[in-house]
């Protein structure tokens, strides 16, 4: 499960890491603005990296771009963008079959950058109290790249929708489009004597977001429907291996309120119990 995460990276850092070209809304790599968010929640605008063909179909030039998308996938057939509030995660086991996700995973895959993510652990007999944890790489400069999918939704004329993920004239006409995304999840790892972190993740929650290994980011981004089943299997298989290097820090329960948004949220705190 991934319902809250941290993204505090400059445009230039994401561009340097991926070679992506920033969308016009982000500015250039040297002066682009990307607001740090220490409590990112569904329906928030977030950065994503994707690849697409520019030009005539698959004969066009393949380009890698950095965009802003709304977190919570809105399928092209949706009547209301509010459906995205419930589709911020996509189960990798069923993503190829679910009507909301199957077209996107076959043709529109992306990588969602993050510093780390939050998860809550409920302790039996503690009156329902939960301890939040911040899960992140040991190196604070290392970026997590979640396996994601994205979709374009045509905004009906007259709709009052405010988002940095809106892109007017994407189809060359007068329409405005909303770019949205979802993060793939998988089952948590089994306990491991060799990797205590995997045991901790197993005890924390039964689901976890899928993180892309650096060497497979390009494979995941590349458009192509035929390879989708193999790619989903690949990223599921490597998810636990990449997670074995993470750190789990107990943090302040203030992260439970989405209005709280500051660097202090990720500072390790004594556990509640």
- In the chain, pLDDT over 90 holds for what percent of residues? 76
The pLDDT score that the predictor gives to residue 33 is 67
pLDDT of residue 175: 85
**Domain CATH number, residue 145:** 3.90.1680.10
* Per-residue confidence (pLDDT) for residue 1, from 0 to 100: 64
Q: What is the pTM of this model?
A: 0.94
Give tens-digit pLDDT for 27-65.
Answer: 766 656 688 999 999 999 999 999 998 876 556 789 999
For residue 105, is it within any domain? Answer: yes
Asked if 20 and 49 count as a contact pair (C-beta separation under 8 A), the reply is: yes
Domain that holds residue 182: 5-266
Is residue 38 domain-resident?
Answer: yes
Could you tell me whether strands 144-155 and 89-91 are parallel, antiparallel, or unpaired per DSSP bridges? unpaired
| pLDDT of 271 | 78
The length of the chain in residues reads: 273
Backbone angles phi, psi at 236, to 5 degrees: -65, -40
Q: Using a pLDDT cut of 70, give the percent of the chain over it.
A: 93
Is the residue at 221 inside a domain? yes
Q: What is the pLDDT, as a whole number, of residue 193?
A: 85
Q: pLDDT tens digit string along 100-145?
A: 999 999 999 999 999 999 999 987 766 678 999 999 999 999 999 9
- Encode pLDDT of 145-181 as tens digits: 999 999 999 998 877 788 888 888 776 677 899 999 9
Q: Is 129 inside a domain boundary? A: yes
Domain count, the chain: 1
Tokens matching residue 126:
């503690």
Give a yes or no: residue 273 inside a domain: no
User: Is residue 58 assigned to a domain?
Assistant: yes
pLDDT given at position 60: 78
Q: Which of 148, 150, 117, 146 is nearest to 134 (CA)?
A: 117
Residue ranges with strand state E in the chain: 5-7, 21-22, 37-40, 45-54, 61-71, 89-91, 109-114, 116-122, 130-137, 144-155, 166-168, 176-187, 207-209, 246-250
Instruction: Please give the average per-residue pLDDT across 12-22, as a whole number.
Output: 93
pLDDT at residue number 58: 58
Does residue 250 lie within any of the structural domains? yes
The number of beta carbons lying within 10 Å of the beta carbon of residue 25 is 15
C-alpha of 122 from chain center: 24
Q: Which residue has the higher pLDDT, 187 or 2?
A: 187
DSSP 238: H
Instruction: Report which secondary-structure segment, H or E, holds 232.
Output: helix 228-243
Q: Is the pLDDT of residue 73 over 80?
A: yes
- Indicate whether 235 belongs to any domain: yes
CB 108 within 8 A of CB 149: yes
Do 245 and 192 form a contact (C-beta atoms < 8 A)? no
């Amino acid at each position: 499960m991934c319902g809250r995460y941290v993204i505090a990276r400059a445009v230039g850092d994401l561009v340097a890491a991926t070679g992506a070209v920033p969308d016009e809304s982000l500015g250039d790599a040297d002066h682009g603005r990307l607001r740090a968010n220490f409590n990112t929640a569904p329906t928030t605008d977030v950065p994503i990296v994707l690849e697409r063909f520019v030009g005539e179909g698959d004969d066009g030039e393949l380009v890698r771009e950095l965009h802003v998308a709304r977190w919570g996938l809105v399928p092209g057939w949706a009547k209301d963008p509010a459906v995205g509030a419930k589709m911020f995660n996509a189960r990798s086991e069923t993503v190829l079959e679910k009507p909301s996700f199957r077209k996107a995973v076959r043709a529109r895959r992306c990588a969602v950058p993050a510093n780390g993510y939050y998860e809550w652990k409920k302790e039996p007999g503690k009156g329902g109290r939960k301890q939040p944890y911040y899960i992140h790489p040991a190196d604070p400069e290392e970026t997590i790249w979640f396996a994601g999918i994205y979709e374009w939704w045509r905004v009906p004329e007259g709709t009052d929708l405010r988002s940095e993920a809106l892109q007017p004239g994407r189809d060359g006409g007068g329409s405005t489009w909303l770019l949205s995304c979802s993060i793939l999840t998988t089952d948590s790892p089994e306990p491991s004597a060799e990797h205590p972190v995997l045991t901790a993740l197993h005890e924390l929650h039964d689901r976890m977001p899928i993180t892309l290994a650096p060497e497979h980011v390009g494979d995941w981004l590349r458009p192509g429907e035929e390879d989708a089943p193999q790619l989903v299997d690949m990223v599921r298989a490597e998810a636990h291996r990449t997670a074995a290097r993470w750190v789990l820090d107990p943090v302040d329960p203030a992260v439970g309120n989405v209005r709280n948004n500051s660097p202090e949220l990720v500072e390790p705190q004594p556990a509640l119990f």
